Amino acid sequence: MKENKFKIFCLNFSYTILIFFMGVICHAYKDTLFKPFKYLFNTPKVSIVMSTYNRAEALPHAIESMLDQTFTDFEFIIIDDGSTDNTSEQIKYYAQKDPRIVHLKNDINRGLIYSLNRGLDIARGEYIVRMDDDDKSLPFRLERQVWAMDINPHIAVLGGGLVPLEGNHPKPYGVPQINNMDEVELNTYFSSGLAHPTIIIRRSFIEKHNIRYDFKYQYAEDCGFYKDVMQKGGRISSMKEGVLMFGYIRGLIKPDKYTEIQSESFKKVQYDKFKPLVEISYDLLGAFNGDEKRCQILKKMVEANKVKKILNQDVLEKRRKITCQPYEIDGTPIQVTHPYWKDTLVLEKDGKSIYRLSDMAETATIIHEDNETVTISWKRWDDEVYSKKSDKQWVYLKNKNGTVKK
């Protein structure tokens, strides 16, 4: 009987010691042991998705700018796209310090589109925020963008403004203001419209419509993404305030033929985007194809949209008028570069009378002209001399006193 009691005592004592040491171990390694459970049961408000490749020197600026956010309820998904430098070690260093970081590594370099889609696939937040590894977000970026999305539930993708690399960036105050959605959406037909690393995405929308970055739009994947969102009925806009320093790390090398491939990819996006509205000739497409060709596109869009009603007709008409004005005037448009302004001067049919397109009250007369220069006499300002770069392009040289304005 005594022997059994002793055995029971020893057994209980052993259990007590075991439980004690297990408690010590669990406390010491709580972040490692319980992180999987914390990950499963705590859903963050925001998922930040960033891909990186051989950017070990740039990474600390980008990562720390997100870890220092005033809004803290997020997971930070960083995909190392098969780096061969010590990028992976940099990410591991920060991941050990902050459990919000989710570190993924591709077995080989698979490209930005693959990596971003991998991040989107595992993101759990209500919102997904894009970030690039060579930029720096302002400390209040997440706070302001989350607020803006919460009060604008009809928006699927929201961009933000860019701020200078240097100088003070005061914290904005008041309710976040957004730009006119119809105008922003029209912009995406001719440019990206939104700076990719500034965007915040409503995850429920892209999950419902199975939207991901498309491999056929290499280096213009953001433009393709916005196209797909809009064609599924998603609204797009941008904040009026700045949230990010773009290209914070200077001198980063782009892949071979980056610009050439990006240009062709953007034309593909444009072609696919115009298709539901109007057929546009491929030679008119391109982000930098000039306002004259853009004017031709806008005229077609205006007429087609009267029937299709895909875009806001008033916004479209206004943009056509502004863009096409220099090509619909009764005279010769001349692009002028001046120290204080850039504008189009209109040379009337008499070959002497001039007015400024943005303000027709500002009129002038040509009082001297040769092969290299032209002197004009303003009714409201001093006479000025311009260099004739071509028949349709003048550059300011000096005023009547020979003084060059700086």
- Reduced 3-state DSSP string for 356-381: ECCEEEEEEEEEEECCCEEEEEECCC
Q: What is the CB neighbour count within 10 angstroms for residue 402?
A: 8
Confidence class for position 19, pLDDT limits 50, 70, 90: low
> 202: part of which helix (H) or strand (E)?
strand 200-202
Asked, colleague to colleague, whether 43-245 and 332-399 share their fold, the answer is no
Torsion of CA 303, 282, 259, 76, to 10 degrees: 50
Burial of 342 (0-12, 13-18, 19+ CB in 10 A): exposed
Query: Architecture of 43-245 per CATH?
Result: Alpha-Beta Complex (3.90)
Domain locations in the chain? 2-29, 43-245, 276-327, 332-399
What does the mean pLDDT of the chain come to? 88
- Give CA 318 to chain center in angstroms: 25
CATH number of 332-399: 2.40.128
pLDDT at 32: 47
Please give the order of strands across the beta sheet that includes 46-52: 101-105, 74-80, 46-52, 127-130, 200-202, 155-163, 235-245, 136-137
The pTM of this model reads 0.75
> 320: part of which helix (H) or strand (E)?
helix 313-328
pLDDT at 34: 46
Following DSSP, what letter does each residue of 247-296 receive, concatenated? T-S--PPPPTTHHHHHHHHHHHHHHHHHTTT----GGG--TTS-HHHHHH
Q: Are 179 and 240 in contact (CB under 8 A)?
A: yes
pLDDT single digits (tens) 66-107? 999 999 999 999 999 999 999 999 999 999 999 999 999 999
Is the CA virtual torsion 328, 329, 331, 335 positive or negative?
A: negative
In whole angstroms, what is the distance from residue 272 CA to residue 394 CA?
38
